[in-house]
Amino acid sequence: MNPKPNFKTIAARLRRRAEARLRERQANQRHKGGVPKTAAENVRLLHELEVHQIELEVQNAELRETRDQMEILLEKYTDLYDFAPVGYFSLDEQARILEVNLTGAALLGVERSQLINRRLSGMVAQASQPLFLGFLERVFAETGRQVCEAPLLRKGGAPLWGSLHGISAPSVRGPGKMCRVAVSDITSLKQAEEAQRRLDALTAASLKFKREIARREALEESLRKTEQHQRHLLEQSQQMQEQLRLLSRQVLLAQEEERKRISRELHDVIAQTLTGINVRLAGLKNAAAGKTKSLERNIARTQRLVEHSVKIVHRFARELRPAVLDDLGLIPALHTFMKGFREETGIRVSLSAFAAVDQLDVDRRTVLFRVAQEALNNVARHARASHAEVRIQRLDGAVSMTIKDNGKGFPEEWGSRSYKGKRLGLLGMRERLEMVGGKFAVTSVPGKGTAVMAEIPMVQGTLGAGENPHVSP
């Protein structure tokens, strides 16, 4: 800031100049002729002095008017400088504050008198000080107006973001350099930019979230369609399984009926025919008693062949459908089968049952007989056992049959549905039991034998109470 002009000093200086001119004229006059010779000259001299006095008064008035105008302009300049909307700083090359307006002091929260000779760089945030020092270097290099943005520290308040515009200026305090820096508070702008960045980030996140929602909805829709398709396939599979189960049952029933028919044909037709042939051969033998022995031997041989054929037919008939099962019941049929089984395989078989089991209907008796038959045939084919046991017990509302052996056993998982291909006989037993609402299970330990368990629900009132058990060795 320039100091105020001293108008009194200027007026005094003009007066001294006028008095000096007057003395100079008087000295010239004395040099020319001494004192004034006439009164007219004195009057003229007095008039000139009065004119000079008037000129001085006019000049003093003009100077006072100029002083008043300059004071008004100075006040306006001071107001504009101190109360400008930005802070003005005058800095030297060491970033010391030489001058600062009130706005700049208010921005930093420090009184103006306390800012003089303090370094402005010390009021810049530590992380931004290298940026600010580079800004000052560019300003003092006189490369034109420079711009910088940096956070400034405020005394007793939160930091503010300042926009700094600097330009080099001639120094009024010596030969050194100085610069002027205008500082604007752009904290609101920075906050708005940060808010905009956050808004943009939130918008991008929202868009990404919407896309993810759309993707998940599409995925859920796809999963829903896949689930519906799988459910449809499952229903079709269940329907096909049910159809296969019904077909399997129909096949078993048809097989059993066909066995029964073939058994009856073998027993009633073929066996009777063979028996008739045997009787006729016996008659021929007796008629030819007096004839050659060769004829007798041929007839006897033919008779033995016919008897053997009859036994084979009876065995086939028993295996296909034992007539004793329909005529006498389950226990006699099992006895007959076990007798032939023991003769053919050498495996001892014991039977333990209660007599009332023969009160079951023919379908349930047939299922129990076929399960026992298949289980014992498996013992003969695979178990390498020396003994087997068939036990039929009465449970609460059901009949239970267990076939145990002391053979080599097999892995227990072979009895599950996943090993159907390896144990078709087990599958047939399971299907037969499920036909009449029964249950089927197999337990086996390698080296410790196998136990086949079948359970059939009884029809209410089918079996009487208090029946004695039947046991056979």
Model confidence over 197-215: pLDDT tens digits? 999 999 999 999 999 999 9
Can you give the pLDDT at residue 212? 92
Asked whether residue 461 carries a pLDDT value surpassing 60, the answer given is no
Regarding predicted confidence, which is higher, 158 or 375? 375
pLDDT of res. 426: 79
Closest CA to 152 of 96, 104, 191: 104
List the structure tokens of 227: 């689930």
pLDDT of residue 420: 44
By C-alpha distance, which of 119, 144, 143 is closest to 133? 119
Instruction: Kindly tell me if the per-residue pLDDT of 466 is higher than 50.
Output: no
Is there a contact between 405 and 385 (Cβ–Cβ < 8 Å)? yes
CATH superfamily of 87-185: PAS domain (3.30.450.20)
**Dihedral of CA 106/110/112/117: which sign?**
negative
pLDDT of residue 216: 92
User: What contacts 24+ positions apart, CB below 8 Å, involve 108-117?
Assistant: 108/152, 108/153, 108/154, 108/155, 109/154, 109/155, 109/156, 109/157, 110/155
Q: What is the pLDDT of residues 135-182, one digit of tens each?
A: 999 998 877 889 999 999 988 778 889 999 999 888 766 677 889 999
Q: Is 90 exceeded by the pLDDT of residue 348? A: yes
| pLDDT bracket for residue 414 (50, 70, 90) | low
Percent of the chain at pLDDT > 70 equals 76
> How much is the pLDDT for 435?
82
Q: What is the mean pLDDT of the chain?
A: 80
Q: How confident is the model at residue 300 (pLDDT cuts 50, 70, 90)?
A: confident
- Dmax over CA atoms of the chain, in Å, equals 229
pLDDT at 371: 92
**pLDDT at residue 372 tops 70:** yes
Helical pair 330-345 and 293-320, crossing angle rounded to 10 deg: 120
**Which amino acid, 70?**
M
Residue 84 has phi, psi (to 5 degrees) of -65, 155
Can you give the pLDDT at residue 172?
A: 66
Same fold, 87-185 and 329-472: no
> What are 428's two structure tokens?
């047939």
Sheet with 97-100, side-by-side order of all strands: 97-100, 87-92, 178-185, 160-169, 146-152
pLDDT at 417: 46
pLDDT at res. 22: 67
Indicate if the pLDDT at residue 247 is higher than 80.
no
Q: Which of 8-12, 255-259, 395-399, 416-420 has the highest mean pLDDT?
A: 395-399
3-state SS class at 473: coil
- What is the predicted pLDDT for the residue at 134? 92
SS3 452: strand
154 and 109 Cβ atoms separated by less than 8 Å: yes
In this predicted structure, the answer to whether residue 263 has a pLDDT above a threshold of 60 is yes
Q: Using CA atoms, how far apart are residues 166 and 181, in angstroms rounded to an integer?
A: 4
The answer, yes or no, to whether residue 456 has pLDDT greater than 60, is: yes
CATH architecture assigned to 329-472: 2-Layer Sandwich (3.30)
What does the block give as tokens for 424? 């078709």
Answer with the residue of higher pLDDT: 127 or 410. 127
Q: Determine the Cα–Cα distance for residues 301 and 293; give it in Å rounded to an integer.
A: 12
The pTM of the full predicted model, rounded to 2 decimals, is 0.42
Residue 276 has pLDDT above 80, yes or no: no
Q: Which residues of 135-162 are buried (b: 16+ CB within 10 A; e: fewer)?
A: bbebbbeeeeebebbbbbeeeeeeebbb
State the pLDDT at residue 458. 81
Asked if the model's pLDDT at residue 442 lies above 70, the reply is: yes
Q: Band the pLDDT of 465: cuts 50, 70, 90.
A: very low
Predicted confidence (pLDDT) per residue in 37-63, tens digit: 567 777 777 777 777 778 777 888 888
Cβ 411 vs Cβ 345: under 8 Å: no
Is residue 126 over pLDDT 60?
A: yes
Q: What is the dihedral of CA 427, 432, 437, 438, to 10 degrees?
A: -70
Instruction: Give residue 3's pLDDT.
Output: 46
Specify burial of residue 123 (Cβ count, 10 A radius: 0-12, 13-18, 19+).
buried
Confidence of residue 221 (pLDDT cuts 50, 70, 90): very high
Asked whether the predicted pLDDT for residue 79 surpasses 80, the reply is no
Which sign, positive or negative, has the C-alpha torsion 25, 27, 32, 37?
positive
**Which range is least confidently modeled, 7-21, 90-104, 266-280, 414-428?**
414-428
Confidence of residue 2 (pLDDT cuts 50, 70, 90): very low
Domain range summary for the chain, segments of one domain joined by +: 7-82, 87-185, 200-321, 329-472
Cα–Cα distance for residue pair 221/213, rounded to 1 Å: 12
Is the pLDDT score of 241 beyond 60? yes
Other beta carbons less than 10 A from residue 53's beta carbon: 12
